[in-house]
Amino acid sequence: MRTKKETDLDRPIDNQAWPGLAEVPTGLRASVSAKVADRLFRRAAAGLDVRIEYPDGTLVGASRGKEILPRMIIRNPDAFARRVGASGLIGFGESYMAGDWTSPDLAAVLTVFASRISALIPRPLQRLRTLYVAKHPEQERNTERNARSNISRHYDLSNELFETFLDETMTYSCALFPSAPTQVGEVRGVTVLEAPTPQSAPKWEDLADSQRNKIDRLLDLAGVGVGTRLLEVGTGWGELCIRAAQRGATVRSVTLSREQQHLARRRVAEAGHSKSVQIDLLDYREVDGEYDAIVSVEMIEAVGHQYWAKYFSVLDRLLAPGGKVALQAITMPHDRMLQTRNTYTWVHKYIFPGGCLPSSKAIESIAAQHTTLRVRERSSMGRHYAETLRLWKERFGSASSRAEELGFDEIFRRMWHFYLCYSEAGFRSGYIDAAQLVLERTGTNR
């Protein structure tokens, strides 16, 4: 019988289940890189508002005496340094998965790091970035063949797994929480949809209606109503199909996930809309027909920057005269996108193979260069995503035993927790954002 403090991470890691994670890097090169990584990490962390605790009692952080600072607890300093030294930020995430470090508030720790990420690595080393960061595997490039595999590795894990932390709408994207009118403003021509304040943080019971609110706003932006021929690129689990059908639209939705298609079809049937909704297992590049409106929610991130021009060209080809495209996308600043788009990260390796976050500037410029579509409206909602992820994280944490019953071991659960916290930190720090965009045709002949 295990003691209360003992976990599966105190046992040897199964190398067959987690190849490359069971063995800590060894050898002279690993030792040297570990020493460099340890020195750089301590130097960078010394000025951060975080409390890093080592087994020998050493404390690193900007204010060593403040107990209220987010705590990062290093359990195995040598293994942590070796993984980071060998694989950089991939090793940082893997060391958490392996149990080399932990935190009682992981999202808070990662938010501190995300808010200062550009300053963590000395500028001379940043210039050498291309020499030491990993490159994307060719087999994860989003060709039509590879895209299906990339999507399956995430979305076909198990519908039951996603049910452990998603609300009743099974919506896996940023919710739009209620905000007072005074909280909605405009910055440089972008509508900012401000999230509730910390004093009125959303609760779990707010999430389903807030997801419906987000979907309804997108359908409104696209002008979806009675008789609309709607194309949805990226089905999810069917809630948008249902909401659009309730308006009287005829919906065609495409996905590359068999698990999503199966559950989405069932949910549409149970809602009584099978006759007006068609859900196909199909790559967006293979879609035919003409549609009065096109909606795509957080699917462009899975396209790959090499295929963004193709993606928008397809939307342009499929959109009927006078139609609108409404997109929801996770975005990042343009300069960061240019710096990181060819970098292979922990998220690519373990969560979203082949993914790449666009910038709003990239969306606008690629659409303008390759299509007759132009961005006419853009809204920012990143703070809403931080709250959405917080609720998912809390729900997943409370459902740990259910995830274990489904066959997802402790390392997987730590990986998923890290992913949700990592994402929350990105939005909470402002490193990444979420946007809703409307594109319309300029009138130029196709």
Greatest CA separation found in the chain? 72
Q: Which range has the worst mean pLDDT, 67-71, 168-172, 293-297, 341-345?
A: 67-71
The C-alpha angle with vertex 132 and arms to 128 and 133, in degrees rounded to 5, equals 105
- Report whether pLDDT(130) > 90: no
* Spatial CA neighbour of 419 closest among 106, 60, 203, 135: 106
Domain boundary among 80, 103, 133: 133
**β-strand 190-193 against 101-102: which pairing, if any?**
unpaired
* Spatial CA neighbour of 350 closest among 423, 247, 405, 442: 423
Domain boundary among 104, 133, 162: 133
| Confidence (pLDDT) at 19 | 83
Q: What is the DSSP string of 323-363?
A: EEEEEEEEE--HHHHHHHTTB--HHHHHT-TT--PPPHHHH
Q: Which range has the worst mean pLDDT, 39-43, 235-239, 316-320, 418-422?
A: 39-43
| Confidence (pLDDT) at 4 | 40
What are 239's two structure tokens? 């809630």
Residue with tokens 């060819």: 342
φ, ψ (nearest 5 deg) of residue 167 = -80, -175
Let me know whether 217 and 249 are in one domain: yes
Let me know whether 152 and 284 are in one domain: yes
Give the confidence band of 1 by pLDDT, cuts at 50, 70, 90. Answer: very low
Percent of the chain with pLDDT over 90: 80
Mean pLDDT of 11-30: 85
- Report whether pLDDT(445) > 50: no
Under 8 Å CB-to-CB from 73, ≥6 apart: which residues?
A: 53, 101, 102, 103
Let me know whether 50 and 82 are in one domain: yes
Let me know whether 152 and 129 are in one domain: no
Contact 330, 383 (CB under 8 A): no
Q: Which range has the worst mean pLDDT, 9-23, 203-217, 324-338?
A: 9-23
What are 119's two structure tokens? 């300053």
Q: How many domains does the chain have?
A: 2
In a domain? residue 414: yes
Q: For 177-223, where are the alpha helices, taking DSSP H only?
A: 204-222
Let me know whether 304 and 397 are in one domain: yes
What are 384's two structure tokens? 């809403």
Let me know whether 256 and 381 are in one domain: yes
Cα–Cα distance measured from residue 284 to residue 445, given in angstroms and rounded to the nearest whole number: 22
Radius of gyration (C-alpha) of the chain in whole angstroms: 23
Q: What would the pLDDT profile of 275-311 be if each residue is shown by its tens digit? A: 999 999 999 999 999 999 999 999 999 999 999 999 9
Cα–Cα distance measured from residue 107 to residue 113, given in angstroms and rounded to the nearest whole number: 10
Q: Which range has the worst mean pLDDT, 120-129, 141-150, 241-250, 404-413?
A: 120-129
Domain boundary among 73, 105, 133: 133
| Confidence (pLDDT) at 116 | 78
Q: At what angle do helices 239-246 and 204-222 cross, to 10 degrees?
A: 60
Let me know whether 307 and 432 are in one domain: yes
Q: For 73-122, where are the alpha helices, taking DSSP H only?
A: 77-97, 106-115, 117-120
Range of the structural domain that residue 76 is part of: 8-133
CA distances in angstroms from 95 to 78, 82, 91, 325, listed in the order given: 11, 9, 6, 42
Let me know whether 342 and 194 are in one domain: yes
Q: What would the pLDDT profile of 222-281 be if each residue is shown by its tens digit? A: 999 999 999 999 999 999 999 999 999 999 999 999 999 999 999 999 999 999 999 999
Cα–Cα distance measured from residue 307 to residue 115, given in angstroms and rounded to the nearest whole number: 30
Give me the amino acid identity at 256: L
Q: Which range has the worst mean pLDDT, 22-26, 87-91, 133-137, 333-337?
A: 133-137
In a domain? residue 3: no
- Report whether pLDDT(330) > 80: yes
Mean pLDDT of 55-77: 85
| Confidence (pLDDT) at 8 | 55
In whole numbers, what is the pLDDT of the chain averaged over residues?
A: 91
Strand, coil or helix: what is 139?
A: helix
Strand, coil or helix: what is 217?
A: helix
Give the confidence band of 443 by pLDDT, cuts at 50, 70, 90. Answer: low
Give the confidence band of 3 by pLDDT, cuts at 50, 70, 90. Answer: very low
Q: What would the pLDDT profile of 176-192 be if each residue is shown by its tens digit? A: 998 754 456 666 668 88
- Report whether pLDDT(325) > 60: yes
Mean pLDDT of 366-381: 96
| Confidence (pLDDT) at 198 | 76
In a domain? residue 125: yes
| Confidence (pLDDT) at 389 | 98
φ, ψ (nearest 5 deg) of residue 3 = -75, 170
Percent of the chain with pLDDT over 70: 89
CA distances in angstroms from 8 to 12, 82, 216, 311, listed in the order given: 8, 22, 44, 44
- Report whether pLDDT(75) > 80: yes
Give me the amino acid identity at 248: G
Let me know whether 340 and 223 are in one domain: yes
| Confidence (pLDDT) at 91 | 96
Give me the amino acid identity at 154: H
Cα–Cα distance measured from residue 291 to residue 124, given in angstroms and rounded to the nearest whole number: 51
Contact 101, 77 (CB under 8 A): no
Q: What is the DSSP string of 357-410?
A: PPPHHHHHHHHHHHSSEEEEEEEE-HHHHHHHHHHHHHHHHHTHHHHHHTT--H
DSSP state at residue 147 = H
